[in-house]
Amino acid sequence: MSYAGTLRRRPPEPMKLPPWRARLLFLLLLAGMGGLVVRSAYLQGFHDTFLQSKGNARYSRDIEISAHRGMITDRFGEPLAVSTPVESIWANPEDVEATAQQLDKLAKVLHLGKDELASKLANRDKGFVYLKRQLPPDEAEKAVRLKIPGVALHREYRRFYPGAEVTAHLLGFTGVDDNGQEGLELLLQDQLAGMAGSERIIKDARGHVVEDVANVRPPKPGTDVALSLDSKLQYLAFREIRLAVESHHAKAGSIVVLDAKNGEVLALANWPSYNPNNRERPAMQTMRNHAVTDLFEPGSTMKPFTAAAALEAGKVRPDTLINTENGAYVVGGHKIRDTHSASSMTVSEIIQKSSNVGATKLALSLPPEVFWHNLSEAGFGALTGSNFPGEAYGRLRDFKRWVPIDQATMSYGNGISVNLLQLARAYTVFANDGELQPVTLTRRDVPMVGKKVFSERTAREVRAMLELVVQPGGTAPQAQINGYRVAGKTGTAHKLDGGHYVNKYIASFVGMAPASNPRLIVAVMVDEPAGAQYYGGQVAAPVFSNVMGSALRMMNIPNDAPLGNVLMPPAGEVIGEEV
């Protein structure tokens, strides 16, 4: 055996580390573990809400549940405004995964431009964006069938108005969020709206909604509201004012029907109108409720209040003769004229034939403060109490700033402005034996107490004068109704343009029936009738007759006159009120 074979290799001696290195490594590991423990405790104990929200966002989301808006009905429960379920398409841009072809199809289904859809999905930071709202069910279903991750349905409600343009100005409309924007929808928003709820949904990894987990907060539906409106009367009033405007080639027209006993608005309509079911809104002028928001000079419809003020003050009686100066009278350098001149008239004849000179004499017999007080107490220059959005106050100037010509012109309806609802309400003083009734647009189940303005005697004396207006010799024979006594007053006023009166007119008529015990008041106003006929007795009185006559029969109100009581003046005779 060789010497090399006999040698054995010795194993290398192990490397010995310094003791301090082992201790350092142990301390580092211990510190790292401690840091992890502290971080874990911090995240789970003090920052858990943030982490949970981030985790939940990856698989769940809370979305709003729209509340069902309350229904608006007429006084008998007929629906005037209802909310029906519709589907809206929404998306979480971060979750949307779609090919260009899918997005093209989605844009086509939703009737969106490609650029518009891309813009909605561009912001990846948004967790919720509407792609298209309030779709018909078939279109919504087409969008869902594309199965694009991150795109889902959301149930909402859309408002529908069965009466369309017939009730448009009164009801107004809601916006895309089903919140009131105009009219009673806006006024009654708090009652109708309800309270939205929310629900939690679970999404899969591709963003599809796979399950509704729970209602976080159930929606609270809105309250139904019953209006004072009578749907049948509303349609009747709308039809007649539309026919009047169109047949006289007028600019516009309005009509109001009041319950004379309690001030409930049974009908209120304007023409031109619009369809609130159409989301494309017309011009603001078309959407205005002219019967409430627009002012006009009432003309001769103010004369009964002038006569009532003089009667109440004890200055005259109905048969008192007034010197009407053969139809021309000068006040403060201004000449006041009558179309039909007479040397004298009784107070009743002044109202019957609508004498400006006679009304001026009655007004000037009173101290300005007394005359102003009577007009103010009858509701002029004040809101009606309807609370309709945008209602106009009207204009009744302070008597301290009057000069004699102001008092004179106000006696026959110039220099004072009203809205049609305000004028109709004022006539409740003659229908209710001197008591002014508060106006309401909602059904009134409890009788309201009115305000005493004139004595019972004064109110009845004026009402008797108003009956003469519709008889032959008065200004409105066309306001008569077969089988009923009618009381009312015409008005024909020049319009102001740039501070000057021009040859454009407002034709009006306000009346009540049955005159023996008035149940209804109808006020009609036609703006700028064109052609030869522009007097209130020619343009507005027939509208009153048609609406009032049909309404009395619909309500089965007993006749207070024999059938065949309508008496017309000789053919060709026209008696127009002074303008």
Report which residue type is found at 558. P
Largest CA distance in the chain: 171
Q: What are phi and psi of 199, to 5 degrees?
A: -140, 155
Q: Which of 326, 367, 366, 322 is nearest to 348 (CA)?
A: 322
Q: What are phi and psi of 148, to 5 degrees?
A: -90, 120
550 as an active site residue: the answer is: no
Q: What are phi and psi of 440, to 5 degrees?
A: -140, 145
| Rounded Cα distance, 522 and 510, in Å | 6
CB atoms within 10 A of CB 377: 18
- Residue reference for tokens 């034709």: 507
Tokens matching residue 387: 């609370």
For residue 202, give the 3-state DSSP assignment.
strand
Tokens matching residue 158: 């859309």
Q: Which of 236, 318, 253, 173 is nearest to 539 (CA)?
A: 253
Residues 6 or more apart in contact with residue 309 via CB below 8 angstroms: 362, 363, 366, 370, 371, 374, 375
| Rounded Cα distance, 312 and 303, in Å | 14
Residues 6 or more apart in contact with residue 357 via CB below 8 angstroms: 324, 325, 327, 328, 329, 336, 337, 338
CB atoms within 10 A of CB 203: 20
- Cβ distance 73 to 191 under 8 Å? no
- Report which secondary-structure segment, H or E, holds 3: helix 3-6
Q: Which of 273, 300, 355, 417 is catalytic?
A: 300
- Cβ distance 183 to 169 under 8 Å? yes
- Cβ distance 411 to 363 under 8 Å? yes
| Rounded Cα distance, 536 and 475, in Å | 8
- Cβ distance 476 to 539 under 8 Å? no
Report which residue type is found at 401. R
Report which residue type is found at 385. G
Catalytic positions: 300
